[in-house]
């Protein structure tokens, strides 16, 4: 398995992995930063393939941080996930009690919730197998074992992505920036509690960032205007969402 996929999001970026592999192979980064980590599939997969020395994951959502903290620190977490019986009564019981185990709650809500969003309801039908259509215990066990094995090379920061980029501004480092939902008209703003990002401030930091970076954005006029104002390079890439809808994504770099 060459990818580490634990959390599922509508805007997941696993499809970008081949390009990001080439990106880091040009010059191996000392630290690879994901300032808006979420599922952190890119950074975790590159670290798993030993293409970067260290990974810094920055995340604002305390629920997602609880999951990553336990994945990094608790050697029993993968076994607990593998042993979980993904039945609707069991899922509903966990979903009703985040206070009992926020890490497990986050994983189950993400995998079994509608659209992978933590603030949505549970999946109804899936691919015909209901909740089990998004719960692959064997793959999750393997991925969590890999994260735990790599934990000595991973730093988790619960906080602001822009501030972390400022602190880690070095020619030796590289970053993949995948911030949530630009523009007031983005439908994603209704789905994600931590959607507010100072995009203008982020672009200002990137304009003086000394390391190499690549950003992925929704194809939005506001973002294109900021990229042009900073004289960043950008291109539009055709991709398919998890629901197989075609859309265009902006890739931006300095």
Kindly list the domain boundaries of the chain, sorted by start residue.
14-253
A 10 A CB-CB count for 235 gives: 10
Give the pLDDT confidence score for residue 181 in this predicted structure.
64
How far the first Cα of the chain sits from its last, in Å, is 31
Alpha carbon separation from 177 to 32, 41, 241, 254 (Å, rounded): 11, 12, 19, 12
Please list the pLDDT of the chain residue by residue as tens digits (254 residues). Answer: 689 999 988 767 888 999 999 999 999 999 999 999 999 999 999 999 999 999 999 999 999 999 999 999 999 999 999 999 999 999 999 999 999 999 999 999 999 987 777 888 887 755 445 677 789 999 999 999 999 999 999 999 999 999 999 999 999 999 999 998 665 555 555 556 776 889 999 999 999 999 999 999 988 889 999 999 999 999 998 875 555 566 788 999 98
Q: With 0-12 CB in 10 A as exposed, 13-18 as middle and 19+ as buried, what is 69?
A: middle
User: Which pLDDT value is given to residue 129?
Assistant: 59
Superfamily, domain 14-253: Vaccinia Virus protein VP39 (3.40.50.150)
pLDDT at 123: 79
Of 131, 163, 150, residue with least CA distance to 36: 163
pLDDT value, residue 114: 78
Give the whole-angstrom CA distance, residue 101 versus residue 129.
26
Q: Are 173 and 32 in contact (CB under 8 A)?
A: yes
Bridge partners (DSSP) of residue 157 are 58
H or E segment to which residue 240 belongs: strand 233-240
Residue 61, Cβ density class (10 Å: 0-12 exposed, 13-18 middle, ≥19 buried): middle
pTM of the model: 0.91
Which pLDDT score, from 0 to 100, does residue 245 have? 63
Q: Which pLDDT does position 127 carry in this prediction?
A: 46
Q: What is the pLDDT of residue 14?
A: 85
Q: What is the pLDDT of residue 204?
A: 97
pLDDT for residue 130: 67
């Amino acid at each position: 398995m060459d990818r580490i996929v634990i959390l599922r999001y509508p805007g997941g970026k696993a499809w970008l992995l081949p390009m990001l592999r080439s990106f880091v192979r040009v010059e191996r980064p000392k630290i690879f930063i994901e300032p808006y980590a979420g599922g952190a599939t890119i950074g975790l997969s590159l670290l798993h393939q030993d293409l970067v020395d260290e990974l810094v994951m920055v995340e604002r959502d305390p629920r997602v941080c609880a999951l990553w903290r336990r994945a990094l620190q608790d050697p029993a977490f993968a076994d607990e996930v593998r042993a979980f019986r993904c039945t609707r009564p069991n899922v509903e019981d966990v979903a009703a009690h985040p206070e009992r185990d926020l890490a497990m709650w986050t994983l189950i809500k993400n995998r079994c919730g509608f659209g992978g969003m933590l603030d949505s309801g549970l999946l109804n039908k899936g691919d015909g197998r209901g909740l089990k259509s998004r719960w692959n215990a064997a793959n999750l066990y393997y991925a969590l074992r890999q994260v735990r094995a790599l934990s000595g090379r991973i730093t988790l920061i619960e906080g602001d992505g822009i501030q972390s980029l400022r602190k880690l501004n070095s020619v030796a480092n590289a970053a993949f920036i995948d911030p949530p939902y630009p523009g007031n008209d983005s439908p994603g703003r209704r789905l994600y509690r931590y959607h507010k990002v100072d995009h203008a401030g982020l672009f200002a930091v990137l304009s003086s960032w000394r390391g190499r970076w690549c950003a992925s954005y929704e194809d939005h006029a506001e973002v294109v205007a900021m990229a042009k104002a900073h004289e960043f390079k950008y291109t539009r890439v055709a991709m398919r969402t998890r629901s197989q809808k075609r859309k265009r994504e902006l890739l931006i770099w300095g």
